[in-house]
Amino acid sequence: MRSHTTTNQSSWATQLIACNRLPKARSGSISFHHLAFHHETCQGGKPHNYQMKSRLQRSLALCALVLTAVTAAPPVVAASKETIAMSVGRLLEEGHYTRQKLNEEISKKFLLSYLELLDFSHLFFTQKDVDSLNTKYGNSIAGDVLLGTLKPAYEIYALYTKRVDDRVAKIKELLKQPIDSKSNATVELSRQKAPWPKDEAEADQLWRGRITNELLQEHLSEHPIEPAPQLVTRRYDRLARNVHEQDKDEQIKLFLDALAQAYDPHSEYLSKADMKNFSINMGLSLVGIGAMLRSEDGYAKIESLVPGGPAQLDGRLKVGDRITAVGQGQADYVDVREMRLDKVVEMIRGKKGTRVRLLAIPSDATDPSRRKNVELVRD
C-alpha cells in the first residue's frame, strides 16, 4: 500500500481552481497526491474540467467542494504540446505543496524519473547512456519545460527505441540457441533498484539469464500457450512494436508524468486519454472484473480490488498478482506479457454476464512458473 504525505491540500487546491497565473489554453491533467486537476481548457480564469484520481477515495469530500466552484468555459482551440508542457511546469511550481522551482536540483530528479519510466528494470539503457544523458540534460531539462522545449523528450525516447530494437534483435539470436538448463547462474528478477549495466557486455549477460528464465518458466507452466521460443519471440516483437507505436502525444505524456513524479511519487500527469479511462472507471460505463491494474516490468499487475466486484467476491485474485494471459470465454489464452496496459484492460473488459479467464502468477509465488487459472463473470 502506498504511503501518503499529509499536506494542507485545500490551500493549493484553491490555487488550482483560481487558475489565475497560468496560460489560457491547456490540455491534460496534473495529479497532486491523488487529486487530479484536469485543465483541458482554461479561459477567463475558470478551469473547464477536472477529475480526482479514483485510487484515493478519501479525497472525494475535497473534490466535491472543488466541484461547486467550477463553471463551464467556452470551447477554445486545443493547446500545443509545448504550451501544455509550460502549463504543467508552472502548475507544479505554483501548485505543489513544496513550491519547488524547476531548477537544477529538480532537473536531475526529472531526468532519472523519465529514464526509469522508460526502462523500469534497468535493462535497456547502460550506465554509459545514463552518464551521457546526465551530462547533456541533467542541469537543464526542467528549465526546458518552462521554455516549451520538448527536444530532450523526443531525443531520449529515440535513444530508448534504438536500445529496444537492438536488444530485441539480440534476443531473437539468443532464442535460436539451446537452453542451458544445467547452469547454476542466478537471475535477478526484480531490477528496479539495481544499477544499469555498465556496458553492452554486462547487459548481454543479464539478458541471457533473463531469457533463459522466461523459457524455463514457459516449459514448466501447467498452462502452455504455445512453444516457449515462439511465445518469447512474439512477446518481444510486441514490446518493440509497442515502443514504436507511441506517438508524440504519448511520449510527452510519459515525459510530463516523469516531471510530476520528480516532485513526489504520488503526483502524476494525466493525458486526455487517461481522463477518459478514469471517467469510464468512475462512471462504470464499461464492465469488467473490478480490479485496478498497473504496468510493471512487462506485466499487468493487480494494484487493488474493487470491494464487491467479481474479483474480490471470487477471492482467488490477490493484490500483487501478475496477469500473464487472458482468454475470452472458452477461447485460447492470449499471452499479454509486454502488452500495453490499455490493451490488456480492453481484453478484460466486456459485456456484463460474459466470462473472462486469466492466468496469473500469484503474488506469493516462489516458483515463477506457477500460474493460477481464474475464470470470472463480468459484472
* Predicted pLDDT at 49: 34
Domains of the chain: residue spans and CATH: 9-98 (no CATH), 105-249 (no CATH), 286-377 (2.30.42.10)
Quote the pTM value. 0.68
* Predicted pLDDT at 223: 79
Residue 168: all three cell numbers together: 530485441
* Predicted pLDDT at 78: 62
* Predicted pLDDT at 61: 31
Tell me the pLDDT of the chain (379 aa) as tens digits: 333 333 333 222 222 222 222 333 334 555 444 334 343 333 333 333 333 333 333 332 323 323 233 334 444 456 799 999 999 999 898 888 888 898 999 999 999 999 999 999 999 999 999 999 999 999 999 999 999 999 999 999 999 999 999 999 999 999 998 877 677 777 887 888 999 999 999 999 999 999 998 998 888 887 788 899 999 999 999 999 999 999 999 999 999 999 999 998 888 787 777 776 665 555 444 458 999 898 888 889 999 999 999 999 999 999 999 999 999 998 999 999 989 888 899 899 888 899 999 999 999 988 878 899 999 999 8
Strand partners, 252: none
* Predicted pLDDT at 278: 63
Q: Write a three-state SS string for the chain.
A: CCCCCCCCHHHHHHHHHHCCCCCCCCCCEEEECCEEEECCCEECCEECCCCCCCCCHHHHHHHHHHHCCCCCCCCCCCCCHHHHHHHHHHHHHHHCCCCCCCCHHHHHHHHHHHHHHHCCCCCCCCHHHHHHHHHHHCCCHHHHHHCCCCHHHHHHHHHHHHHHHHHHHHHHHHCCCCCCCCCCCCCCCCCCCCCCCCCHHHHHHHHHHHHHHHHHHHHHCCCCCCCHHHHHHHHHHHHHHHHHHCCHHHHHHHHHHHHHHHHCCCCEEECHHHHHHHHHHHHCCCECCCEEEEEECCEEEEEEECCCCHHHHHCCCCCCCEEEEEEECCCCCEECCCCCHHHHHHHHCECCCCEEEEEEECCCCCCCCCCEEEEEECC
Residues 6+ apart with CB under 8 A from 132: none
**Torsional sign, CA 353, 337, 300, 217:** positive
* Predicted pLDDT at 62: 27
Helix 127-137 with 151-174: angle, nearest 10 deg: 170
